[in-house]
Amino acid sequence: MHTDDTSEAAGRPHGPADQPQDRPAGELPAAVQRLWGAPAPRRRGPKPALSVAQIVQAAMDLADTEGLAAVSMARVADAVGYTPMALYRHVSSKEELLAMMADAVAADLPELPVDGGWRAGLEAWTRAQIALGVRRPWMMDLPLTAAPPGPNRVRWIDQAFGVLRPVDLPADEKLAVVGLLAQHVLGEIRVHVESRRAAADQVRREAGLPDGTPESELDPDALDAASPYADFETVLTRYADPATYPNLFEAFAAWPGTTLTAPSDDDIAFGIATVLDGVEAYLRRRGAISDAAS
C-alpha cells in the first residue's frame, strides 16, 4: 500500500484557505480553485505518483458499480492502492471529492451542433443530461452543495449559450432559461431513477434474489410491470368516482386510451416539448426571436 508523502502529519490536513473567514475578499475557496486546476501547495519530497484525476475516476467507478453510498475515502484509497491519508494530500475531504465527481461526470456530455436552431439545440442539451443521469443514477444522490461550477459543467452551460447565440436576450435571462431546463432535467432523472429503483427492489423480492443483484440481470418485462406508475391511469379510471373526484371522473370517462404518439420515451419528449413551448412563448413576448425562428 502506497503512502505518497509520509512526511505529512497525522490527521486530515486543513489549509487556511479552506476556511471562509480567513479568505481575502474576492478569493474563491481552495476547493473551487482545485476544481479548476489550481495546484496544491508543493511540499518537500519526491513528486507524488497519485493524482486527483486517479482519485476521482476511482470514486466514479465505485459509484457506477455499487452506488454513491459505497464511496468513502477508505474505499477509494483501497481502489487506487494508497492509504486514506495519502488521498488527503490531493482532496481535502469527502465533500470535495463529491464536488469533483459532480464536475467530472459532466465531461461525458457530448458536443452539440449549433446550426440546427435554438430550440433543437436546447432539446439536445436537455436530452443529453437526462440520458446521462439515467445511465449514472448515483448523480441524483449527490447533494446540491457538491455541485459548484467546475470547468466541465461550465463548458456545458457554454454550449447552451452557443445554441442561444441567435436569441436576442441579455446574459442573465439566457442563464435563467438554462436554469429552468436544468430543473426540468433534475425532475425527469429523479422520476426515472427512483421509479426504476423501486421496481428493481420489488422484482428482486418477488424473485427471491439478493438485494445486490444487478438490474441488468432482472427481467425487463417484470421491471416495467413493477413500475410504481405502471397502473396509475388504471387506478384513476377504476376508482375516481364522480362523487369524490368529479373532475377526474369526467376527464377519464371520455378518455379512449393512450393518445400520446411520440416514441417509447414519450414521457421525456412530452416534457421537453412542453417546457420549450413555454420558453418559445416567453422569447416571442420579449421580442427575442422572429416569427420564422425555431
Structural domains in the chain plus CATH codes: 16-106 (1.10.10.60), 109-230+261-286 (1.10.357.10)
pLDDT cut 70: percent of the chain above it: 82
Give the cell for residue 191: 422520476
**Rounded CA gap, 131 and 185, in Å?**
10
Tens-digit pLDDT profile for residues 247-294: 998 888 887 776 555 444 567 899 999 999 999 999 999 999 986 555
- Between the alpha carbon of residue 20 and those of residues 24, 29, 94, 103, 224, the distances in Å are 9, 7, 18, 22, 48
Question: Is the confidence at residue 20, as pLDDT, over 70?
Answer: no
Q: How far apart are the first and last CA of the chain?
A: 58
As a whole number, mean pLDDT of residues 85-114 equals: 91
Tens-digit pLDDT profile for residues 33-66: 878 876 555 556 555 689 999 999 999 999 999 9
Those residues whose C-beta lies under 8 Å from the C-beta of residue 283, and which sit 6 or more positions away, are 167, 169, 289
More confident residue, 13 or 4: 4
Question: Is the confidence at residue 236, as pLDDT, over 90?
Answer: no
Record the pTM: 0.81
Tens-digit pLDDT profile for residues 154-174: 999 999 999 999 999 999 999
Is residue 139 within 8 A of residue 88, CB to CB? The reply is no
Instruction: Give pLDDT, residue 238.
Output: 85
Q: Which long-range contacts (CB under 8 A, 24 or more apart) does 210-213 make?
A: none
Is residue 87 within 8 A of residue 52, CB to CB? The reply is no
Is residue 107 within 8 A of residue 99, CB to CB? The reply is no
Is residue 15 within 8 A of residue 89, CB to CB? The reply is no
Element (H, E) at 235: helix 232-239
Tell which phi-psi region holds residue 276, choosing left (phi > 0), alpha (psi between -120 and 50) or beta.
alpha
Question: Is the confidence at residue 185, as pLDDT, over 70?
Answer: yes
